[in-house]
Each structure stands twice: as structure tokens, then as C-alpha cells.
């Protein structure tokens, strides 16, 4: 199916080569497969191509190309790519550093339930990075992430409860989290 141009098959074959599942691990072949699928608009392949460029997996490392492929996938609504693109903008990895745009992409991913994006959005509100500092909003996003089992969010949620930041102080809830 991949040889006949099926983008989903190309992406999945790329996954096989990337992991060494059923074939010898070959990052260059994985990159080739992801490239074919990504050029056809497959969002997951675009995200994986971004990973290849960012890490230099099967291709020369190129942070700008990586961010560009993340953006293509993010614009299609892929939560994982939206989170990663938010990180790129927050840190300036492959793009001009822009914490406000980072928050925008984190929010899009977080609203889809991505617990890592929810946690990072909570951090942005907690520290006033890309948004105005707001302990109540930090609490809200940490809680969403914590309820999905994200350990760092659970710790930060406990800290907010213990100190009464963004929520009424509650030592019992702090201990629970």
C-alpha cells in the first residue's frame, strides 16, 4: 500500500522502520516514508518528520525544518504537534522565541486534553510567561493535568493547595496530591 502511494501506509511503514518493528531499524528509511506521507498532508507523518529534523533521525538535524513540519501538523489540529510547537515558540527552538505564541499553541493542545500541554500552560500562568501571572488559572490547568496522572502537575497542584495560591489553602488536599 505504501508503494502505491497510500499516505497512512507510508506513515505506518515509517513507524516500523523507526522502531525496528518487523524490519531492521533504519532511520533513513523511516525519514523517507514520513516524507512521502507528510507531503500528502498526513498530520502524524508531518509531526514525525518534525521529530526527525529536530533530532537528526535519518536526516541532517535542522531545527527550522523541524518546527515548520510541526506547524503543518499543528495547523491540522494534531494535539501532539500543537504542544511541541508551543514548546518551540516558548524556547526559541527552530523559530524566533515568542512566549505568547507558545501559550497559544499550548492552549490549543491543552483544550484537546493533552496533559503535558495542560501542565505547561499551568506553568506559564504560574510564572507569568507569555500570559499575565494568574495563580487561579495555573491551578485550573495543573488540576486538569493532575487528574490524568501527570506527576509534575500533581506536585504543583499540591504546592498550590499547601500555600493557598489560586485556591483556598487546604493542607489535606495538598497531602492527597
Q: What is the pLDDT of residue 104?
A: 98
Grid coordinates of 10: 507510508
Other beta carbons within 10 Å of 156? 24
CA 133, CA 17: separation in Å to the nearest integer?
Answer: 44
- Determine whether 14 is exposed, middle or buried from the number of CB atoms within 10 Å of its CB (0-12, 13-18, 19+): buried
Structure confidence at residue 34 (pLDDT): 98
If pLDDT is split at 50, 70 and 90, which confidence band does 50 have? very high
The 10 Å Cβ neighbour count of residue 113 is 12
pLDDT, tens digit (0-9, with 9 covering 90-100), for 114-149 = 999 999 999 999 999 999 999 999 999 999 999 999
pLDDT tens digits for 80-112?
A: 999 999 999 999 999 999 999 999 999 999 999
Amino acid at each position: 500500500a505504501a508503494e502505491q502511494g497510500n499516505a497512512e501506509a507510508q506513515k505506518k511503514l515509517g513507524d516500523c522502520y523507526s522502531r525496528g518493528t518487523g524490519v531492521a531499524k533504519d532511520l533513513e528509511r523511516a525519514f523517507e516514508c514520513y516524507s512521502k506521507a507528510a507531503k500528502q498532508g498526513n498530520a502524524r507523518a508531518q509531526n514525525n518528520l518534525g521529530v526527525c529534523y529536530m533530532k537528526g533521525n535519518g536526516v541532517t538535524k535542522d531545527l527550522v525544518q523541524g518546527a515548520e513540519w510541526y506547524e503543518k501538523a499543528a495547523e491540522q489540529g494534531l494535539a501532539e504537534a500543537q504542544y511541541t510547537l508551543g514548546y518551540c515558540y516558548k524556547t526559541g527552538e527552530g523559530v524566533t522565541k515568542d512566549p505568547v505564541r507558545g501559550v497559544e499553541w499550548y492552549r490549543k493542545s491543552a483544550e484537546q486534553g493533552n496533559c503535558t500541554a495542560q501542565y505547561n500552560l499551568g506553568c506559564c500562568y504560574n510564572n507569568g510567561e507569555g500570559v499575565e501571572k494568574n495563580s487561579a488559572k495555573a491551578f485550573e490547568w495543573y488540576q486538569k493535568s493532575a487528574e490524568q496522572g501527570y506527576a509534575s502537575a500533581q506536585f504543583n497542584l499540591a504546592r498550590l493547595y499547601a500555600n493557598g495560591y489560586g485556591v483556598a489553602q487546604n493542607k489535606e488536599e495538598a497531602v492527597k496530591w
